[in-house]
C-alpha cells in the first residue's frame, strides 16, 4: 500500500495495514518573523522541508508556513482601538503574500510529487491577529471584543475570505492535498463566551467549507500550544475529516477524543514539549508509549502524532521509533 493510499484509508476511517505517523516542527528560528522583511526565512523553510522529508520519509507532510505568519494589512496590524479594524481591506487574490505562498507550495510539491499527501498550514483569523500584534495580543483582542465585537467580526471576516482565496490557489495551483487548519478559543475579556465563540466559529466555517469544496481531506488542529486551553466541545461539529488537539494540555486522551468527536479519525497522542517522552525518552520508553497510545485509542482511524509542533532540535530517530514495533501493527 502506498503512503497516499494508506492515509486516505485512515481519513476514511477504514482499516489500514499499519498506523501512519506524522510530526513537524518549524524550520526558522522565529517562524513568526515577516519573511518579506527577511526573505532568507523562505529559503530556510524550503531547505528544511527537503531535509526533513529525506531524513524522516514521512507518511504525509504538514507544510510549515514560516515567514508567512503576518497578514499584510496595516489596520489589522496596527489598530489602536476596535473601531480601527473597520478599515481592514481585502488584500486581493494577487497580493505578494498569496502569490509567494502559491510559489512556495509548488516548489515543495515538486519535492514529493504524488508520493505523499501534503496539508498546508492555515491559521484562523484570531490566530493571525495574535501573530500580527505580538506579546500582548491576547489581551488586546479581548479588549477590542469588549469594545466593539462587530468591528472585530468584520475584520475577521475579511481575513477569512482572503484565507479562502489563499486556500483555493494553494490546492488548485500549489499542489497541496488539503489544509491543516489551526484555530482555538478566544479567552479573556467581559464579553460573553458565546459571542467570542461565534466570532471564532463563523469565520472558521467560511474557511473549512471552502477547503472541503476543494478537497475531501482536511485536518482540524485545535491549538493548545504553550498551554492554551480550549473547550473541545466547541469544535465537535466542525466539518473537518480528521481532528488533532493537545492531549496533554486538554487532558483528553486519544481514545476519549475519538468518542467525543463521534468516532472521527484523529491524529496525535504525544506531548510535543521538551518535557515529553518523545523528546527526552529512550527507545524503550518511546516504544512503550507508542504501544500504550494505540492500545488506548485503537488503531482504526488513528494517526500517531503530537499535540502541536515538536522542538526543532528533536532527534529524528525519536520520531522513527514511533514506527516500531507497535506503530506498524497490522489492524485487525
pLDDT, tens digit (0-9, with 9 covering 90-100), for 60-89: 999 999 999 999 999 999 999 999 999 999
331 pLDDT band, cuts 50/70/90, is: very low
pLDDT of res. 325: 59
Total tally of structural domains belonging to the chain: 1
Euclidean distance between CA atoms 9 and 12, whole angstroms: 5
Euclidean distance between CA atoms 218 and 227, whole angstroms: 24
Assigned C-alpha cell, 251:
487532558
pTM above 0.85, yes or no: yes
**Domain boundaries, position 203:** 3-328
For residue range 270-312, list pLDDT tens digits in order: 999 999 999 999 999 999 999 999 999 999 999 999 999 999 9
Task: Check pLDDT > 70 for residue 199.
Answer: yes
Task: Check pLDDT > 90 for residue 326.
Answer: no
pLDDT of res. 330: 47
Q: What is the mean pLDDT of residues 209-228?
A: 95
Q: Cell 532568507, residue? A: 40
Q: What is the mean pLDDT of residues 190-202?
A: 95
Assigned C-alpha cell, 11:
481519513
For residue range 6-40, list pLDDT tens digits in order: 999 999 999 888 999 999 999 999 999 999 999 99
Assigned C-alpha cell, 250:
486538554
Give strand ranges (E) for 64-116. none
Task: Check pLDDT > 70 for residue 324.
Answer: no
We report the CATH number of the domain holding residue 46 as: 3.20.20.210
How many percent of the chain have pLDDT more than 70?
97
Assigned C-alpha cell, 298:
485503537
135 pLDDT band, cuts 50/70/90, is: confident
What single-letter DSSP state applies at residue 155?
A: H
Euclidean distance between CA atoms 207 and 219, whole angstroms: 12
Amino acid at each position: 500500500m502506498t503512503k497516499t493510499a494508506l492515509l486516505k484509508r485512515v481519513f476514511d476511517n477504514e482499516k489500514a495495514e499499519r498506523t501512519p505517523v506524522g510530526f513537524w516542527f518549524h524550520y526558522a528560528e522565529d517562524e513568526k518573523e515577516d519573511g518579506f522583511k527577511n526573505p532568507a526565512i523562505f529559503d530556510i523553510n524550503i531547505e528544511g522541508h527537503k531535509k526533513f522529508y529525506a531524513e524522516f520519509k514521512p507518511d504525509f507532510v504538514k507544510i510549515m508556513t514560516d515567514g508567512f505568519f503576518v497578514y499584510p494589512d496595516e489596520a489589522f496590524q496596527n489598530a489602536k482601538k476596535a473601531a480601527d479594524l473597520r478599515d481592514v481591506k481585502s488584500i486581493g487574490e494577487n497580493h505578494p503574500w498569496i502569490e509567494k505562498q502559491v510559489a512556495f507550495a509548488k516548489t515543495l510539491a515538486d519535492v514529493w510529487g504524488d508520493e505523499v499527501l501534503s496539508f498546508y498550514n492555515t491559521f484562523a483569523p484570531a490566530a493571525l491577529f495574535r501573530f500580527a500584534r505580538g506579546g500582548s495580543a491576547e489581551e488586546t483582542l479581548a479588549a477590542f471584543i469588549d469594545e466593539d465585537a462587530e468591528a472585530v467580526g468584520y475584520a475577521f471576516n475579511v481575513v477569512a475570505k482572503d484565507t479562502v482565496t489563499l486556500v483555493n490557489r494553494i490546492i488548485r495551483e500549489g499542489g497541496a492535498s488539503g489544509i491543516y487548519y489551526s484555530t482555538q478559543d478566544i479567552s479573556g475579556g467581559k464579553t460573553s463566551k458565546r459571542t467570542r465563540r461565534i466570532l471564532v466559529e463563523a469565520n472558521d466555517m467560511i474557511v473549512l467549507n471552502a477547503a472541503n469544496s476543494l478537497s475531501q481531506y482536511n485536518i482540524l488542529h485545535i491549538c493548545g500550544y504553550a498551554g492554551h486551553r480550549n473547550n473541545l466541545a466547541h469544535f465537535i461539529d466542525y466539518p473537518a475529516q480528521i481532528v488533532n488537539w493537545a492531549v496533554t494540555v486538554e487532558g483528553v486522551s486519544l481514545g476519549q477524543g475519538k468518542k467525543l468527536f463521534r468516532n472521527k479519525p484523529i491524529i496525535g497522542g504525544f506531548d510535543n514539549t521538551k518535557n515529553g517522552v518523545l523528546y527526552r525518552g529512550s527507545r524503550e520508553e518511546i516504544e512503550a508509549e507508542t504501544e500504550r497510545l494505540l492500545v488506548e485509542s485503537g488503531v482504526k482511524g488513528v494517526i500517531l502524532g503530537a499535540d502541536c509542533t515538536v522542538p526543532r532540535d528533536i532527534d529524528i530517530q525519536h520520531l522513527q521509533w514511533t514506527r516500531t514495533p507497535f506503530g506498524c501493527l497490522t489492524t485487525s
